[in-house]
């Protein structure tokens, strides 16, 4: 018997779940994702001074007992790691070495310290015991990202099963999505973007809860605030998550009704809190960190965005450019030794996920809306919101362009859920599983060839 609200377990349910087919399906997805991400994490030795290096440095500083001031310089240990891994390619060196800060881009300022330590703090907690066991700290931090990525895939699979998708199809979806090359790369490197899958899957999971409207809004507000604090480009997902809780009312049998709540009294207070809290939390933290600068610094990122991404384009052009990126989120990948093979994987991912989401969203009928329609519309709305919010933020803050395709990744689980819940049937469930398995094997072959 299912627990009331889908949260409180009945006596003995834990033992039954341990042996259930759902548990094994979710576990299989987690293990497969973690192993593939771990393979990439351990084989990919390169690192970037602009991306992975600052994120690692944040974790390193937290492990040494303090929250560093915004725009503090990279530690010498981080610079040493970067030289070891080719992150400073203009240095010709036979061995790892220390180099002076003025010779590092933007005088070695860490541009990631503006972020809330959601990802960094948890990653530090995971990496510390691994490092104590003999794993080098950089690899330990990457393993933490692998765990976040695998947890996201597992949560997506579990959520799809709770939304009445067959376990066979849910496993295929989990495998197919996690193997997308550009997505996989983020899940195997030191970056808060490794939590995009987990945050997106959490938004899908909230659709499965059978609880009162007020309780659902409270859960969504907590989740959305955590998303907004993880990384600034997760804020559109946070907004979509809140709107889903406010407007969508699951009615059973995979259906839903969409209606506005009665905005008075307690409902009005909850609605305002849900809409405002994630924005206030993220904005308040950035405001605090923007004034907690290292001595001698005037910009939170040390001038990196302005020096590298300054643009003379207008905001309208930047929004159109961002819309193109949001529609082609998997267009870049480091696994480029087989361009033709890689283009096939990217074309499949774009055609099925993004193209399929658009079709399903357009096919929605107001009088008969399914949870698949809800997820597809939410994913598409999130991509559209990102295409406006992200370039506007970069333009107004730094007069620069900064939107990149990977900023669409938090919406991918919603898009995947929308497609899977709409097309799955007795025959197509096996097609989805076969496609997910074959795509995973295909991508592993590409990755292995790249590292081989």
What pLDDT is attached to residue 107?
A: 79
Query: Does the pLDDT value for residue 299 go beyond 60?
Result: yes
The mean pLDDT of 220-245, rounded to a whole number, is 97
Secondary structure, 3-state, the chain: CCCHHHCCCCCCHHHHHHCCHHHHHHHHHHHHHHHHHHHHHHHCCCCCCCCHHHHHHHHHHHHCCCCCCECCECCHHHHHHHHHCCCCCCCCCCCCCCCCHHHCHHHHECCCCCCCCHHHHHHHHHHHHHHHCCCCHHHHHHHHHHHHHHHHHHHHHHHHHHCCCCHHHHHHHHHHHHCCHHHHHHCCCCCHHHHHHHHHHHHHHHCCCCCCHHHHHHHHHHHHHHHHHHCHHHHHHHHHHHHHHHHEEEEECCEEEECCCCCCCHHHHHHHHHHHHHHHHHHHHHHHHHCCECCCCCCCCCCHHHHHHECCCCHHHHHHHHHHHHHCCCCCCCCCCCHHHHHHHHHHHHHHHHHHHHHHHHCCCHHHCEHHHHHHHHHHHHHHHHHHHHHHHHHHHHCECCCCHHHHHHHHHHHHHHHHHHHCCCCHHHHHHHHHHHHHHHHHHHHHHHHC
Query: Does the pLDDT value for residue 9 go beyond 60?
Result: no
What pLDDT is attached to residue 364?
A: 76
- The whole-angstrom separation of Cα 388 and Cα 410 is 16
What pLDDT is attached to residue 381?
A: 96
The model's pLDDT over 346-377, given as tens digits with 9 standing for 90+, comes to: 877 788 888 889 899 888 776 668 899 999 99
The mean pLDDT of 22-35, rounded to a whole number, is 97
What pLDDT is attached to residue 269?
A: 92
Q: Which of residues 175 and 76 earns the better pLDDT score?
A: 175
- Of all residues in the chain, the percent with pLDDT exceeding 90 is 57
pLDDT band at 432 (very low <50, low <70, confident <90, very high): very high
Query: Does the pLDDT value for residue 404 go beyond 50?
Result: yes
pLDDT band at 11 (very low <50, low <70, confident <90, very high): very low
pLDDT band at 444 (very low <50, low <70, confident <90, very high): very high
The mean pLDDT of 209-228, rounded to a whole number, is 95
Least confident of 68-77, 312-321, 343-352: 343-352
Quickly tell me which residue has 């989740």 as its tokens.
223
- Of all residues in the chain, the percent with pLDDT exceeding 70 is 90
What pLDDT is attached to residue 403?
A: 86
pTM > 0.85: yes
The mean pLDDT of 34-60, rounded to a whole number, is 92
Q: Which of residues 193 and 364 earns the better pLDDT score?
A: 193
- The whole-angstrom separation of Cα 149 and Cα 180 is 12
What pLDDT is attached to residue 5?
A: 37
pLDDT band at 126 (very low <50, low <70, confident <90, very high): very high
- The whole-angstrom separation of Cα 47 and Cα 82 is 6
What is the overall mean pLDDT for the chain?
87
What pLDDT is attached to residue 384?
A: 96
The model's pLDDT over 78-123, given as tens digits with 9 standing for 90+, comes to: 988 888 887 666 554 546 777 788 778 777 889 899 999 999 999 9
- The whole-angstrom separation of Cα 296 and Cα 376 is 48
The mean pLDDT of 375-397, rounded to a whole number, is 93
The model's pLDDT over 149-171, given as tens digits with 9 standing for 90+, comes to: 999 999 999 999 999 999 999 99
């Amino acid at each position: 018997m299912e627990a009331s609200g889908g949260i409180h377990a009945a006596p003995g349910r834990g033992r039954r779940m341990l042996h259930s087919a759902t548990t094994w399906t979710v576990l299989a997805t987690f293990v497969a994702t973690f192993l593939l991400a771990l393979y990439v994490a351990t084989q990919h030795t390169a690192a970037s001074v602009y991306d992975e290096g600052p994120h690692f440095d944040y974790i390193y500083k937290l492990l040494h007992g303090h929250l560093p001031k915004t725009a503090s310089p990279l530690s010498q240990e981080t610079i040493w790691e970067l030289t070891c891994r080719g992150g400073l390619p203009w240095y010709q060196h036979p061995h790892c070495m220390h180099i002076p800060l003025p010779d590092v881009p933007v005088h070695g300022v860490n541009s990631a310290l503006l972020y809330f330590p959601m990802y960094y703090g948890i990653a530090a907690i995971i990496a510390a015991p691994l490092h104590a066991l003999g794993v080098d700290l950089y690899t330990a931090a990457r393993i933490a990202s692998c765990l976040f990525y695998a947890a996201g895939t597992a949560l997506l699979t579990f959520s799809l099963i709770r939304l009445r998708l067959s376990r066979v199809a849910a496993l295929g979806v989990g495998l197919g999505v996690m193997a997308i090359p550009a997505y996989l790369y983020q899940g195997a490197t030191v970056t808060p973007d490794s939590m995009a899958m987990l945050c997106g899957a959490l938004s899908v999971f909230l659709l499965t809860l059978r609880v009162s409207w007020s309780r659902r809004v409270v859960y969504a507000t907590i989740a959305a605030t955590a998303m907004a604090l993880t990384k600034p480009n997760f804020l559109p997902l946070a907004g979509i998550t809140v709107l889903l809780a406010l407007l969508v009312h699951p009615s059973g049998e995979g259906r839903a009704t969409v209606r506005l709540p009665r905005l008075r009294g307690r409902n009005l207070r909850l609605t305002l809190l849900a809409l405002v809290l994630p924005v206030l939390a993220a904005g308040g933290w950035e405001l605090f960190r923007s004034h907690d600068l290292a001595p001698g610094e005037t910009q939170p990122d040390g001038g990196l965005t302005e020096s590298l991404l300054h643009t003379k384009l207008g905001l309208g052009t930047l929004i159109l450019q961002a819309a193109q990126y949001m529609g082609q989120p998997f267009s870049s990948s480091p696994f480029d030794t087989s361009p033709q093979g890689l283009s096939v994987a990217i074309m499949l991912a774009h055609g099925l996920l993004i193209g399929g989401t658009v079709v399903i969203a357009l096919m929605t009928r107001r009088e008969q809306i399914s949870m698949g329609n809800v997820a597809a519309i939410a994913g598409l709305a999130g991509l559209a919101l990102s295409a406006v919010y992200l370039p506007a933020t970069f333009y107004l803050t730094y007069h620069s362009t900064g939107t990149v395709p990977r900023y669409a990744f938090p919406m991918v689980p919603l898009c995947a859920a929308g497609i899977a819940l709409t097309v799955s049937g007795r025959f197509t469930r096996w097609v989805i599983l076969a496609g997910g398995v074959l795509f995973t094997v295909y991508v592993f072959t590409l990755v292995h060839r790249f590292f081989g």
